[in-house]
A = this chain, B = another copy of it.
Amino acid sequence: MTDPAPEPHTPQGESCHAHTETHLCMPEDARVKAARRLAIARGHLESVRRSLENPDVYCVDVLKQLKAVQGAIEGAAAVVLRGHLEAHVATAHERGDEQKIVDELMEVFKYT
């Protein structure tokens, strides 16, 4: 940890190099946890793709499996979102960039 004075609201990994006003680093624990979940989702997605090599595979089973994969990715996204809300959105008024922060978040929510 090279940062001698970590603000509690911007938790940062040991090598987040962008300590500028315009860059916000993802909380370390959210980053690690989300990556782990995405690795699992990737394995699941790959097994669904492989199941399509079998001509006997049934459409509805594929649809159910894809739903499960979507749920796993959704879970990873929830980890990222929670980290973002805690580390960046909850502190936006203090930094003074709440308009930008809220705009980009609303953009993400669109059609979700």
| Chain A residues engaging chain B, CB cutoff 8 angstroms | 8-9, 12-18, 23-26, 28, 30-32, 34-35, 38-39, 41-42, 45-46, 48-49, 52-53, 55-60, 62-64, 66-67, 69-70, 73-74, 76-78, 80-94, 98-99, 101-102, 104-106, 108-112
Contacts and interface: CB of A to CB of B under 8 A. Distances in A.
Given A66-B73, A85-B89, A90-B90, A55 B17 contact: yes
Contact of A85 (B23, B70, B80, B105): B105
A102 B80 contact: no
**What 6 A-B pairs are tightest by C-beta distance, nearest first?**
A59-B84, A90-B98, A35-B52, A13-B55, A90-B92, A38-B49
A7 B87 CA distance: 22
Given A89-B85, A90-B90, A92-B90, A80 B63 contact: yes
Contacts of A67: 77, 108, 112
